[in-house]
Structure 1
Amino acid sequence: MKKFSKSLMSAAVISAIFTGSAFMVASPRALAAEKILLKTPIAFATNLPALGTTITWVADRLDKVSDGNIRMKVYEPGKLVSPPEILDAVSSGKVNSGYATAGYWQGKIPAAALFSAVPFGPEAGEYMAWMYYGNGLSLYQEMYDSAGFNVKVLPCAILSPETSGWFAKPIDKPEDLKGLNMRFFGLGASVMEKLGVGTVQLPGGEIFGALEKGAIDATEFSQPAIDQRLGLSKIVKYNYFPGWHQQATIFELLVNKDAWNGMSEGQQATIETICMASMTNSVAEGEAMQFPVMAKAKEDGVHIRYWNQTMLDTFKSTWDEVAVEKSAEDPFFKKVWDDLSTFRAGYDLWEANAFLPRSRTE
């Protein structure tokens, strides 16, 4: 059984490697280069902990580590560019950078979802291991290049598991899902659709209203501390774990490739290093804030449920079907899926022997 202890340890190792060099990149040569202002529309409001606060952390560190040589101006969702338009806006040069998650683009690039969150996929440490020391990062850039997008992609945050749904009533068997309308993200939505759920992808700010009006019956969004900000528990009281559809979620900084190529090596290294450090900062921030929120939710009448084995087996077997279908439909999806699967099969030897199992308490 995968547990977060290994994820945080892996993340800490990666952070130690890269943050140690963060203060060496602001060389005299870099400081002499033309100053950079990254105008960065974002997909998630900065008042959302971990989900939105990460990019403000990145902006602050870029300014300080570069001694003002690189600055980032963050634009709240919709203020400069709407979240669904961020990729196109960065590629065209309308803006020189943007912050989102690749799962938003799966309608244009099917494989993009694999660089966002994978059902029954890797936790944070394993995901980063594949990204930085497997073929993940090169495939990530290849995906955008082959699809004709003029962007440089940098993984710049990662969240550990999310919850997998807020429901108005208990869900004990697959039949209980049939006919529900639910907000659901990414590849997990394809799983839910196969199980008879009608899915929509709503931005966070629209979920409460949709639940209140009955436009949707259930929802998932993010981690407990983030869901709390949306007030979901005021309407639906059954919160299900684990987040089988998002054991880890990667967020990306996209930089217009012409703008990227115009930077000095020192400026590029600074941005790369800060984003690598942000991967650890984001997962640590997210992990630290969940348990008090969950404890308070229980006091307020929220039923925290762990999916029974029948439901988990159903989700897993349905996801296996989805993965096969999407691989048959899109050659690049298959290329990425096969590479990730091969890496994970090898990683299993390490995982099975290296970490202590931890019992789950009810």
Structure 2
Amino acid sequence: MIKEKKSLKNTTSSRRKFFKTAAKAGAVAAATVAMPNIATAGSHAKTLKMQAAWPSGANIFFEMAGDYCKMVEEMSGGSLKIDLQPVGAVVKTSEIGQAVSSGVVDMGHWVTAYWYGKNPAASLFGTGPSYGMSSQEVMGWMEYGGGRKLYDETLAKVGFDYIGFFHMPMPAQPFGWFKKNVTKVSDVKGMKYRTVGLATNVLTAMGMVVRQLPGGEIQPAMKTGLIEAAEFNNPTSDSQFGMQDVSKHYHLGSFHQSQEMFEIPVNKKTYNSLSPAHQAILKNAAYAANSDNYFKALVRYSNDLAKLMNEHKVNVYQTSDAILAEQLKGWDKVIGDFTKKDAFFKKIVDSQKAYAKKVMKYLLMNQPNYKLAYENEFGPIGKVKI
């Protein structure tokens, strides 16, 4: 009996040692499984180089590019990073598309109007005619109305070898900064004015003398008299450029560029070398940045408009209906001219029109008069102090 009892005790002890050892082994195995992920996210992370068309520092567009990069890193758990460089760090703005295509940089951050010189159709993917659409609806056409296929065809036509993503549906851009309040078409005829893309053709058709200048050259050009009026994009960017120091008359809401969004080109070979998960992250981070950037823009743009009015004594106007109507006539002429001589351009325009005719009928009929609700609470919009 004593021997049997001893044997039972030894057996119990052995079992305890076995389970204790197994538990330790399990913990080690679990740690072994987890550790490679940590190493991948750290020392073996994939880093892509992106050059933006915007200067670093106080520039909301560069900040928004950075937002996208941060989302990519966070969504990948640190296994995919983007090294964001400012304008001119590697190539000039006009060279970004080719630099991405050839692999000099992996990615870019700009707008399609910046390669308008290679093919006017580029402007249709951001700074084209409205047909009642805002940037939100143009992006809807891109993803669900056949726009992406046409965009890819346009890239092939100009020789760009990249995959493109879009984000940040920009609010309608201001007509811009003038030396006086302009309300009639005759007020702007012959005026030296800065814009880019198809808007150059539209405003030329209105009788303006248009010059295409990079953002950083606009304010100095107005100061020296090279141009008499200019637009860039929004109250935040415009104030960061110091436009309030050369003009006190700011006209909002124009059809010359009533919709635009950022384009993120990614070198095709680089993109195809990534894992499906990383490819999905690059795509879906653009969707995430799309919403976040827009929410941020509404707050920042309205805050900076208030500063322009209250601190810098800038006079702010809504662009007159007379000028807006003339802009639409200009668009009719420009689009008519291009579609007559370019079948592919016409193909894109026809696609946009078909989408706008159906979608905007629903949207415009469904939307209540939001201005009526605003003025019911705050009074006439032109007299509201912010």
Bucket of the pairwise TM-score, normalised by the shorter protein: 0.7 to 0.9
Instruction: State the AA in 1 paired with 2:176.
Output: G
Query: Could you say what secondary structure the match of 1:108 adopts?
Result: coil
- Deviations, residues 252-287 of structure 1 (Å, cap 9, x unaligned): 111111111111211110100001111111211111
Query: Could you say what secondary structure the match of 1:186 adopts?
Result: coil
Q: Is the 8 A contact 1:163 1:243 kept in 2?
A: yes
Q: TM-score, normalised by structure 1?
A: 0.87
Higher relative contact order (CA closer than 8 Å, sequence separation 6+) = 1
Q: Kindly tell me: are residues 48 and 197 of structure 1, through their superposed partners in 2, closer, same or farther at Cα, counting changes over 3 Å?
A: farther
Quick check: which has more Rg, 1 or 2?
Answer: 2
Alignment of 1:104-143 (within 5 A): 104-120=114-130, 122-143=133-154
C-alpha distance in structure 2 between counterparts of 1:321 and 1:71, whole Å:
45
- Deviations, residues 61-83 of structure 1 (Å, cap 9, x unaligned): 11121122211001110011111
Shift of 1:196: 1.9
Shift of 1:48: 4.9
Residue 94 of structure 1 is matched in structure 2 by 104
C-alpha distance in structure 2 between counterparts of 1:148 and 1:196, whole Å:
34
Q: Is the 8 A contact 2:76 2:281 kept in 1?
A: yes
Residue 338 of structure 1 is matched in structure 2 by 350
The correspondence for 1:214, drawn from 211, 225, 248, is 225
Residue 168 of structure 1 is matched in structure 2 by 179
Q: Is the 8 A contact 1:42 1:76 kept in 2?
A: yes
Structure whose residues are more often helix by fraction: 2
The answer to whether 1:61 aligns with 2:71 is yes
The answer to whether 1:199 aligns with 2:219 is no
Alignment of 1:136-151 (within 5 A): 136-151=147-162
The answer to whether 1:259 aligns with 2:270 is yes
Query: Could you say what secondary structure the match of 2:370 adopts?
Result: coil
Instruction: State the AA in 2 paired with 1:245.
Output: H
C-alpha distance in structure 1 between counterparts of 2:238 and 2:92, whole Å:
21
Query: Could you say what secondary structure the match of 1:334 adopts?
Result: helix
Greater alpha carbon shift after TM alignment, 90-99 vs 76-85: 90-99
Residue 19 of structure 1 is matched in structure 2 by none
How many matched pairs? Answer: 332
C-alpha distance in structure 1 between counterparts of 2:157 and 2:272, whole Å:
18
Q: Is the 8 A contact 1:50 1:282 kept in 2?
A: no
Residue 311 of structure 1 is matched in structure 2 by 323
C-alpha distance in structure 2 between counterparts of 1:298 and 1:195, whole Å:
29
- Deviations, residues 323-350 of structure 1 (Å, cap 9, x unaligned): 1112223222211111011100001221
The sequence identity of aligned pairs, in percent, is 28
Query: Could you say what secondary structure the match of 1:255 adopts?
Result: strand
Residue 25 of structure 1 is matched in structure 2 by none
Query: Could you say what secondary structure the match of 2:381 adopts?
Result: coil
Segments of 4+ in structure 1 off by > 6 A? none
Shift of 1:49: 4.8
- Deviations, residues 204-257 of structure 1 (Å, cap 9, x unaligned): 211111111111111000101110111111111111121322222111111111
C-alpha distance in structure 1 between counterparts of 2:324 and 2:65, whole Å:
33
Residue 40 of structure 1 is matched in structure 2 by 50
Q: TM-score, normalised by structure 2?
A: 0.82
Alignment of 1:19-38 (within 5 A): 35-38=45-48
Gaps of 5+ in 1: 1-27
Q: Is the 8 A contact 1:159 1:282 kept in 2?
A: no
Q: Is the 8 A contact 1:124 1:160 kept in 2?
A: yes
Residue 11 of structure 1 is matched in structure 2 by none
